[in-house]
Structure 1
Amino acid sequence: MDTRQMRYFVALAETLHFGRAAERMHMTQPPFSRQIANLERELGVRLVDRDSRHVRLTQAGERFLEDSRAVLARFESACRDARLVAEGQKGELRLGFMMHAAHRIVPRIVSSYSRLRPDVRVVLSETTPADIERRLLHGELDAAVTFAGRPFPQLQAVPILTDRLCLIAPPEHPLAARDRISPGDLEGEDLIAAPAAVAAILRAAITRYLEAGGVVPRFRFEPQLQQTILRLVAAGLGVALVPGSICDDGMPDLVSRPLASAPSLEVVLAVPHGSINPAVAPLVDLVRREGAAPR
């Protein structure tokens, strides 16, 4: 038995006439009648009672009609979903992002993508830049927002925006009163930053900036998570140089200040070459077209 036989039976049940049902299925009546007879034989039950003038469903036929309609509806839905997934209109997209991007960049990208592909389920995974590289290379993520860094032949990088470092400090800190911070202003300051093993690009940018100004950085705390860095700074345990995309007036208990000749960091969408997930291409096109929108 297959879905064709179910469709034949549904046509007969809805018309209660072999000739009209055969016509609906673009068949002549004799082969149509044989299909119904074959279906009853395979099921081992009579689905219709017929005489020279009337056709009516048996109780078994009424139940088979109900179930056949449900099966055919599910089959049509499965076919439609398969086409939509193949077109990138439906399915799942696993998007990783570093915590610096959670403040502004990711919400804008996800919002635009969700309008473009409302039936694609976006699975967000907030993690560290080092973990992003590993998960992309192992196929655990479909795409990720991260810093542009060492090139991998397996990955392509689509530019999103250029970020610049800024200083964050508690409001009562002497540097909070400055209009602009230079490397020399950070001489002897306790710094809080993620270790190089977690955020190599960011750590290198901080170190180069200070050393270029003749300052030997003194890293007091090295938590992995950006949110922890913010909390430690707010607690008065040091200051931090962080991407400008998280520096705004909405940070409680913190003040942000621009840096003189602030180092820049390129933020990109990293995607494996030859991704087989059709939901990825619309995301890449979106980022190429819009980036993360003006800051």
Structure 2
Amino acid sequence: MNVTLRQLRVFLAVAESRNFSRAGNQIGLTQPAVSRSIVEFEAQLGLKLLDRTTREVALTEAGQSLAARLHRVLDELEQTLLDVQGMSNARRGKVRVASSPTLSANLMPACIAACAKVEPDIELVLLDRIQQDVLDSVRAGEVDFGVVIEPASPDDLHCETILADPFCLVVPPGHRFAGRKQLRWSALDGEALVLLDHASGSRRLIDQALQHQGAHCTVRQQVGHPTTAFRMLEAGLGISVMPSLAVPPAGFRNLQVVQLTPRIDRAVMLVHRRNRAPAPLAQRVWGLIRDTATDVHPAP
């Protein structure tokens, strides 16, 4: 059955006026267009709704039953459409965003502050979780969207890259690489590293970069947070490859950052479930985070 909203409105107008011409004037259609719509409607239903004579239009029993219920159905439909349309104009509400730790610490504070300033009626609730838990939250619909490092299996996700974050080398004073401005990845061959563990979205990319650049290293320690790794470097336990966002904005007092060449980036992405667009409020926060990331960490 392929009944249209227009057919329903035409039938109701005829049922109330009992006249095709008056019904047409009421809804802005010609008398032939009204007649054609009723014929098509009856054909879709497979029954007669109106009895037509030269003097009047009368409702059949089926037509009377339909007309009696149609007012309520159309009123409910109109109210539902108005409610949904109102969502696009909503200015107040809560948006839940999940983010992996280095992004929660070094990107999201600026985004939350920008949201409070630009969208004061939107409450941005941040869930600080490891990468896999962020992705699970997005897929389960627990959050509106996530901020992650490029996922390994994004087939069921819509992803938008908002930032290209290069990897860098962090070394303690006195190390043979201290004082260098830049260094090739291959020079790390044989070094002892302190790295983020595999719960981090960056670890897979770091391992790939080391392998592709011919740097065969010993991983001495694997930790869950960059700050832990930095304390281990200060204790002389090795050197570390880190995303640039993990480096404190003011730099280090006891460590040094060395640029790695060739430049290899991790992609910072916004993700939501494919084919399920975020609600209008969440879309505004999505755009705000994207713009804030560009402003705070512009592309080189």
TM-score by length of 1: 0.63
Structure 1 residues 126, 291: CA separation in 2 closer, same or farther (over 3 Å shift)?
same
Deviation at 1:161, TM superposition (A): 0.9
Candidates 116, 119, 123, aligned match of 1:117: 119
Contact 1:142 1:275 in 2 (8 A): no
Deviation at 1:243, TM superposition (A): 0.9
Deviation at 1:258, TM superposition (A): 0.5
| Counterpart residue number, 2:242 | 242
SS of 1:108's partner is helix
| Counterpart residue number, 2:215 | 215
Deviation at 1:118, TM superposition (A): 0.7
The CA distance in 1 between the partners of 2:243 and 2:101, in whole Å, is: 10
Structure 1 residues 114, 265: CA separation in 2 closer, same or farther (over 3 Å shift)?
same
| Counterpart residue number, 1:160 | 162
Please identify, of 138-147 and 159-168, the stretch whose mean Cα deviation from structure 2 is larger: 138-147
Structure 1 residues 276, 179: CA separation in 2 closer, same or farther (over 3 Å shift)?
closer
Structure 1 residues 184, 159: CA separation in 2 closer, same or farther (over 3 Å shift)?
closer
Contact 1:169 1:238 in 2 (8 A): yes
Deviation at 1:235, TM superposition (A): 2.5
Contact 2:144 2:278 in 1 (8 A): no
SS of 2:187's partner is helix
Structure 1 residues 254, 96: CA separation in 2 closer, same or farther (over 3 Å shift)?
farther
1:179 equivalent in alignment to 2:181: yes
Deviation at 1:276, TM superposition (A): 5.8
Deviation at 1:191, TM superposition (A): 0.9
Query: Residues 95-134 of structure 1 correspond to what in structure 2 (within 5 A)?
Result: 95-134=97-136
Query: Residues 184-199 of structure 1 correspond to what in structure 2 (within 5 A)?
Result: 184-196=186-198, 198-199=199-200
The CA distance in 2 between the partners of 1:179 and 1:172, in whole Å, is: 15
Deviation at 1:246, TM superposition (A): 2.6
Structure 2 letter corresponding to 1:213: Q
Structure 1 letter corresponding to 2:173: P
Unmatched segments (≥5 aa) in structure 2: 1-83
Contact 1:99 1:225 in 2 (8 A): yes
The CA deviation string for residues 2-61 of structure 1, in whole angstroms up to 9 with x for no partner, is xxxxxxxxxxxxxxxxxxxxxxxxxxxxxxxxxxxxxxxxxxxxxxxxxxxxxxxxxxxx
After superposition, the CA RMSD in angstroms is 2.7
Contact 2:100 2:129 in 1 (8 A): yes
| Counterpart residue number, 2:225 | 225
The CA distance in 2 between the partners of 1:253 and 1:127, in whole Å, is: 29
SS of 1:113's partner is helix
The CA distance in 2 between the partners of 1:83 and 1:122, in whole Å, is: 23
Deviation at 1:165, TM superposition (A): 0.3
Structure 1 residues 188, 264: CA separation in 2 closer, same or farther (over 3 Å shift)?
same
Query: Residues 253-264 of structure 1 correspond to what in structure 2 (within 5 A)?
Result: 253-264=254-265
Deviation at 1:277, TM superposition (A): 4.2
Query: Residues 276-295 of structure 1 correspond to what in structure 2 (within 5 A)?
Result: 277-289=279-291, 291-295=293-297
Please identify, of 239-248 and 158-167, the stretch whose mean Cα deviation from structure 2 is larger: 239-248
The CA distance in 2 between the partners of 1:230 and 1:90, in whole Å, is: 41
Unmatched segments (≥5 aa) in structure 1: 1-81
| Counterpart residue number, 1:40 | none
Structure 1 residues 244, 288: CA separation in 2 closer, same or farther (over 3 Å shift)?
closer
Deviation at 1:283, TM superposition (A): 1.6
The CA deviation string for residues 52-99 of structure 1, in whole angstroms up to 9 with x for no partner, is xxxxxxxxxxxxxxxxxxxxxxxxxxxxxx998774422212222222
Percentage identity across aligned positions? 22
TM-score by length of 2: 0.62
Structure 2 letter corresponding to 1:232: M
Contact 2:139 2:272 in 1 (8 A): no
The CA deviation string for residues 148-183 of structure 1, in whole angstroms up to 9 with x for no partner, is 223434422122111110011223322222121222
Query: Residues 43-82 of structure 1 correspond to what in structure 2 (within 5 A)?
Result: none
Contact 1:113 1:283 in 2 (8 A): yes
Structure 1 residues 290, 225: CA separation in 2 closer, same or farther (over 3 Å shift)?
closer
